[in-house]
């Protein structure tokens, strides 16, 4: 019988069939915007960040965090101060369970990309995301979030994606305006982790 809990990239994670995850669902925490499991792009992002590490103890926004593995990875690996953002508040109990499991603290923010502005961008060093641009209507607000973050002083952007059409539209805009790179990425350790990383480093 497959294990319902495992470790990868030094991050413990529970599958959707883990008793604790199933209990959260029974208790009414049912995600409505695809935040119902771990997505492979989050592991692809971790693989990328292993080779492009962040400076220690900086503030990171995990945009469209879902269950929060990307932010948890940053908190555990780089001692990052993480603000986890998602439009679906049903994901936060799953995120908190994983943060507790990995002995890190993550600050949640319930809101869409448009809501991340003002003081929330103070001292932000990096914006990360994994599989967060899967509808065309997400391109403009995500682009504007990244634009605001850079204007506020952010130094890095790293967005992983399996290669969806809206993501490529976002990448085209960021490459054109901010000289971002669109990298074809395949993990050498886990070849099934394969896709693209939109990366900007100032």
Structural domain spans, the chain: 5-201
User: Phi first, then psi: what are they for 125, rounded to 5°?
Assistant: -95, -40
Q: Is the pLDDT of residue 147 over 90?
A: yes
Average pLDDT taken over every residue of the chain: 94
Asked whether 162 and 192 are in contact (CB, 8 A), the reply is: no
Q: Is the pLDDT of residue 1 over 50?
A: no
Q: Give the model's pLDDT for residue 31.
A: 76
What global pTM score does this model have? 0.94
The residue among 199, 190, 113, 191 whose CA lies nearest residue 160 is: 199
User: Residues near 78 by Cβ (< 8 Å), separated by ≥ 6?
Assistant: 53, 54, 55, 56, 57, 58, 60
Q: Give Dmax over CA atoms of the chain in angstroms.
A: 50
Q: Give the model's pLDDT for residue 32.
A: 66
Give me the mean pLDDT over the 68-78 stretch.
Answer: 97
Options 3.40.50.170, 3.30.1490.20, 3.40.50.300, 3.40.50.150; CATH for 5-201 is 3.40.50.150
Q: Is the pLDDT of residue 56 over 90?
A: yes
Which is more confidently placed, 27 or 170?
A: 170
Q: What's the token pair of residue 148? A: 């605001």
CA distance 74 to 105: 11
């Amino acid at each position: 019988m497959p294990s319902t809990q495992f470790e990868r990239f030094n991050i413990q994670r529970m599958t959707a069939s883990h008793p604790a995850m199933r209990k959260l669902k029974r208790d009414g925490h049912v995600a409505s915007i695809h935040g119902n499991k771990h997505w492979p792009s989050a592991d692809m992002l971790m693989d990328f960040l292993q080779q492009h590490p962040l400076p220690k103890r900086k503030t990171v926004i995990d945009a469209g965090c879902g269950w929060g593995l990307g932010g948890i990875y940053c908190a555990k690996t780089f001692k990052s101060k993480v603000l986890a953002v998602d439009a679906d508040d049903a994901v936060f109990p799953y995120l908190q369970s994983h943060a507790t499991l990995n002995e890190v603290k993550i600050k949640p923010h319930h809101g869409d990309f448009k809501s991340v502005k003002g003081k929330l961008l103070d001292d932000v060093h990096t914006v990360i995301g994994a599989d967060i641009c899967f509808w065309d209507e997400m391109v403009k607000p995500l682009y504007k979030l990244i634009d605001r973050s850079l204007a506020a002083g952010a130094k890095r952007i790293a967005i992983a994606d399996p290669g969806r059409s809206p993501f490529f539209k976002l990448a085209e805009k960021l490459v054109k305006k901010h000289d971002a790179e669109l990298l074809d990425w395949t993990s050498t350790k886990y070849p099934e982790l394969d896709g693209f990383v939109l990366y900007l480093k100032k």
